[in-house]
């Protein structure tokens, strides 16, 4: 199993680190450009827009991917998902407000034809900050 994360505020990195401790795996960062917030916000309004990201390729058939819920898209995540291949993908989406299920389905639909099993786990940021962690078993 491989754990990846992309973060802007640090929340997804914290979730990936927590998962890494739970499964005794070192999380791998997905790196991209260091744009200001307003540029990322603009790009997040364009569904399925990929933006070049840098990462070590997966070495296992199961990938856990931690990332934030932005408006309609997180371009480095879209790029990552278009480039990787695995049999099982667990999307761990950190969100603050609204539309998380629709957002998760956008990413599920992006990979449904090339990945055999896709599972989505939503992590509400406020609950995470209160120490209420998601139930993650049988990964």
Domains located in the chain, CATH noted: 2-129 (3.40.50.360)
Chain-centre distance for alpha carbon 120? 10
45-70 mean pLDDT: 95
Mean model confidence pLDDT for the chain: 92
Under 8 Å CB-to-CB from 127, ≥6 apart: which residues? Answer: none
**pLDDT the model gives residue 48:** 93
Sign of the alpha-carbon dihedral angle for 120, 5, 55, 78: positive
Residue pLDDT, tens place only, 106-117? 999 999 889 999
The string of pLDDT tens digits covering residues 12-44 is 999 999 999 999 999 999 999 999 999 999 999
Percent of the chain with pLDDT over 90: 83
Bridge partners (DSSP) listed for residue 92: 66, 121
Is the whole-model pTM more than 0.85? yes
Q: What is the model's pLDDT at position 139? A: 65
137 pLDDT exceeds 70? no
């Amino acid at each position: 199993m491989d754990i990846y994360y992309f973060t802007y505020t640090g929340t997804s990195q914290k979730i990936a680190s927590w998962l890494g401790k739970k499964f005794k795996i070192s999380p791998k960062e997905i790196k991209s450009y260091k744009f200001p917030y307003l540029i990322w916000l603009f790009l997040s309004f364009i569904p399925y827009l990929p933006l070049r990201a840098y990462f070590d390729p997966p070495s296992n058939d199961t990938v856990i991917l931690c990332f934030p819920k932005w408006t309609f898209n997180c371009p480095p995540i879209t790029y990552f998902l278009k480039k990787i291949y695995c049999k099982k993908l667990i999307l761990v989406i950190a969100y603050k407000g609204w539309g998380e299920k629709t957002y998760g389905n956008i990413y599920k639909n992006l990979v449904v034809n090339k990945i055999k099993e896709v599972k989505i786990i939503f992590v509400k940021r406020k609950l995470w900050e209160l120490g209420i962690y998601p139930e993650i078993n049988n990964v």
